[in-house]
Amino acid sequence: MSEPALVLDDVTYRYEEAESDALAGVRLSVAAGEWVGVVGPTNAGKSTLCLAAMGLAPHFFGGRLRGAVRVFGSDSLTVPVPERSADVGLLFQNPFTQLSGARERVDEEIGFGPECHGVAPAEVDERVADAMRLVGLEDLAGRHPLDLSGGQLQRLALAGLLAMRPRLLLLDEPTSQLDPAGTEAIFDVLTALHERGTTIVLVEHRLELLCEVCPRVIAMAGGRVLADGAPERVFNDEAVLAEAGAPAYCRLARAAGLPPPWPVRLDDAVAAFGGRRA
Amino acid sequence: MARGLSLYVEGESPLHRAHPLTSGVLTLAAIALAFTLPSIGWVAGLLAVLLALAAIAGVLRRLVAVAVVVLLPITVLLLVVQGLVNPANATVAIAIGPVALYREGLAIAALSALRIACLVVATFLLSFTTRPADLAEALQQRGLSPRIGYVLQSALQIIPQTLETAGRIQDAQRARGLETEGWLPRRARAYLPLLLPLVLSSLVATQERAMALEVRGFGRRVRRISRHVFHDSRTQRVVRWALALSVPAAVGLRLAGWR
């Protein structure tokens, strides 16, 4: 059996000068090649989970981390973030601040990461072309990054990470600033990446979309894991429904008085309501 | 959204195709020589050479248009101040009623203005014909630290990004009823509530960018292999050395009494 991509072993983390823990006794393991969704209300610890997996917490933010975070078997405390970025990519909510701020063309921006990793020029060109193809930015290669729309900018930020060929991709609400078309484009890219074998941890508040693509969902609240499993199991958990909400189909079925398990995907909802009509 | 501040103009001239270091050395040497050469004739000659290079690069019209805007007020100010009150003034050149402009002061002002013109023209010539990113890259290939290279490359993008953020904040404030238009005192007052959110958002953005850079491997201790191969030649190397040596030579000649 291959090494898990990510393991958090009883992790508790508190930011400097914070009065409470952002993560409290979190235990989870993500197998290589898995696509896991993370959901929860504000201050649930979702972003901190990503920061800890990347090593930014505590390397960048300071604070105190107890327990162990292991990425492909190596302890995050012993590996600096720039080194860790060879294996792990982290996409933030705001694509604007993810630009290097030092490149004047889209293709050069995408090549920034591999260049920092000392990748040979011919391979950088190949990776850049591949990443642009994956996210659909080939036609914009010569444009200035600041001339792109929000959706294009987020795809550019993602391409910049993909060019580094991460084995584990952490995405912290990557579609929060995107319109439906931009969101769909990002999810199409993620689906293609998952099919290639990339491990994906996706923090997302669009629960309907999340349930369509993620075979496993982790629900968090107050820095703790509330539930972990298949979406239909997680979103039928009363504690999750109370703390983290549920996909619209699930809430609708519940409000309509359908018996549990409530559907979390469109097809299941159609079947559930169709069965009731019949 | 605002673009970067790069003034680069696409072209295929020898200056566009020159190694970025050659363009950089040309600019630095021209500026140093402008402030070393002893007389109006020499400095005017240098300015003529720079303008000829701009013409060869196909950017003369654009360069003159920008340079005139910068230089005109400075030149007028220099001529008036030096012509009126320079301590060496003795020979009246132009008299308008009780006010007289003196030949000695005007000559000093003309020399200063020409020197500043060389500085401005040389700088714009570099900006129009060399991408800042290429110059920074070429310097990194010669051993400049990637961190300093990054600062050079990012510096030109800070201002438009800040303006873009300020515009967004002002739009939001206008939407909530803040009056930002009208006469000067009202517009000046409107800038005060802009400052705090602008500073705070800039600080947040800086922190996020610092994180994003680490996440992309910036600062990793590996030998970085540049993707860019800049065309260089023996001729360009000779030109660079000649330009670099011309400055200490001019300084030496001035110290030896060249006037």
pTM of the model: 0.77
Query: In this complex, do B6 and A117 lie within 8 Å of one another by their Cβ atoms?
Result: no
pLDDT of residue B1: 43
pLDDT of residue A274: 82
pLDDT of residue B5: 55
> Which residues in chain A have their CB less than 8 angstroms from residue B221's CB?
82
Give, for all 259 residues of chain B, the pLDDT tens digit.
445 556 888 899 999 999 999 999 999 999 999 999 999 999 999 999 999 999 999 999 999 999 999 999 999 999 999 999 999 999 999 998 889 999 999 999 999 999 999 999 999 999 899 988 888 889 988 888 888 888 877 776 666 677 777 887 888 888 887 777 777 777 777 777 778 888 888 888 788 888 889 999 998 888 877 778 888 999 999 999 999 999 999 999 999 998 8
The token pair that represents B203 in the structure block: 């600080």
pLDDT category at A116 given cuts 50, 70, 90 is very high
Range name among A138-142, A269-273, B182-186 with the lowest pLDDT average: B182-186
Q: Taking residues A112-120, report their average pLDDT.
A: 93
Asked if A89 is an interface residue toward chain B (Cβ–Cβ < 8 A), one would say yes
Query: In this complex, do B217 and A108 lie within 8 Å of one another by their Cβ atoms?
Result: no
Query: In this complex, do A54 and B215 lie within 8 Å of one another by their Cβ atoms?
Result: yes
The H-assigned helical ranges of A79-219 are 81-84, 106-116, 121-135, 150-162, 180-196, 207-213
| Residues B216/A161, Cβ–Cβ less than 8 Å | yes
Asked if A123 is an interface residue toward chain B (Cβ–Cβ < 8 A), one would say no
Of B150, B214, B222, the CB nearest to A117: B222
> Which residues in chain A have their CB less than 8 angstroms from residue B215's CB?
54, 56, 81, 85, 89-90, 161
- What ipTM does this complex have? 0.84
Query: In this complex, do B205 and A112 lie within 8 Å of one another by their Cβ atoms?
Result: no
The token pair that represents A261 in the structure block: 């398990």
The Cα–Cα gap between A40 and B131 comes to: 46
> Which residues in chain A have their CB less than 8 angstroms from residue B209's CB?
97-99, 101
Mean pLDDT of chain A: 92
Query: In this complex, do B224 and A116 lie within 8 Å of one another by their Cβ atoms?
Result: yes
pLDDT category at A277 given cuts 50, 70, 90 is very low
Would you put residue A101 in left (φ > 0), alpha (ψ -120 to 50) or beta?
A: left
> Which residues in chain A have their CB less than 8 angstroms from residue B157's CB?
101-102, 146
Model pLDDT for residues A245-261, shown as the tens digit of each residue: 899 999 999 999 999 89
Asked if A87 is an interface residue toward chain B (Cβ–Cβ < 8 A), one would say no
Q: Taking residues A208-216, report their average pLDDT.
A: 94
Q: Taking residues A29-39, report their average pLDDT.
A: 97
Query: In this complex, do A115 and B224 lie within 8 Å of one another by their Cβ atoms?
Result: yes
Q: Which run of H or E residues covers position B64? A: helix B60-85
How many CB atoms are closer than 10 A to CB A134? 19
**DSSP reduced 3-state for B175:** helix
Query: In this complex, do A116 and B216 lie within 8 Å of one another by their Cβ atoms?
Result: yes
pLDDT of residue B81: 95
Q: Which residues contact A177 (CB under 8 A, 6 or more apart)?
A: A93, A94, A95, A150, A154
